[in-house]
Amino acid sequence: MSKEIEYKLAEDIKNKYNNVNIIINEEEPYTLYSCCSISQLLDIKNIRSVIRYYSNNEIIKKLTHTNGGKQIMSYLTYKGLMKLLSKSRKEKIIEFAKLFNLDLISKNYLCAELDTITCIMKTFSKEVMITQYKVGKYKVDLYFVDYKLVIECDENHSNIDYDTERQLEIESILGCKFIRYKPHDKNFNIFHLLNDIYKYISGIQNIETFYSVDKLLNIIEDRELLDEIKSDNDSDNDEDYDSDY
């Protein structure tokens, strides 16, 4: 996200709520939002539980001067704040997003897409892959060049007719195989997706086999990212998680 957009949001929030602790930096992360301040502002009672799986570019711990002396405090980055807001259906948070013109649906989708694509690329890092690969007038999310395999992340409200026509045209140009997934679907499982890809590029796609999580993890370098995505998906499907904050 651009520095200007982050600055504008931080300044708008400060002007509206002067008691919110926000740090503005010249270098990345450009803006940091105190978890304590945000939890009080949005009435999030269990923020520690909510953010426990956030990555290092979503939450930062910082030594801060407080009334009780210096303490290590947790701060949300811009990405972390958007993730926090987009994961909740709480009316107060929705109203907060509307107040500052935040498009949480697209931000939530983008976050999930980037996380899963990153996970796939780290898992199969020895393969030749191209993101946003251009095919005619289209671009596909991820393309395994040597296997002519296209990986596509579908939006929640995709146009089925358009997607079908688009896929057929891409297949006719590349002679490729498509693997599609919906990260927000209640049945989505990152390990199932990785299994499908692994079986295809291994040349055993016709065998009805599901490789164990342990076997997959042996070829996966970034376990924390997988845990985070799996946790995000589990929390998306848990109504209690959303209602808690």
Question: 102, 124, 142 — which closes off a domain?
Answer: 102
Same domain, 81 and 151: no
Count of the separate structural domains present in the chain: 2
Same domain, 231 and 114: yes
Same domain, 77 and 147: no
**Which residues constitute the domain of residue 123?**
110-235
Read off the CATH number of the domain in which 178 is found: 3.40.960
Exposure pattern of 161-170 as b/e (b: 16+ CB <10 Å)? eeeeebbeeb
Same domain, 50 and 151: no
Would the pTM of this model clear 0.75, i.e. be above it?
no
Same domain, 134 and 196: yes
Peptide bond connecting 29 to the previous residue in cis, omega within 30 degrees of 0: yes
Give the residue among 185, 233, 232 at the shortest CA–CA distance from 80. 232
In order along its 245 residues, the chain shows pLDDT tens digits of 578 999 999 999 999 999 999 999 998 899 999 999 999 999 998 898 889 888 888 899 999 888 888 889 999 999 899 988 887 768 888 889 889 988 765 555 556 666 788 889 989 988 999 988 999 988 898 999 999 999 998 865 557 888 899 999 999 999 999 999 988 788 888 889 999 999 999 885 444 455 555 555 555 545 455 555 555 555 555 444 444 56
Same domain, 154 and 224: yes
Same domain, 231 and 132: yes
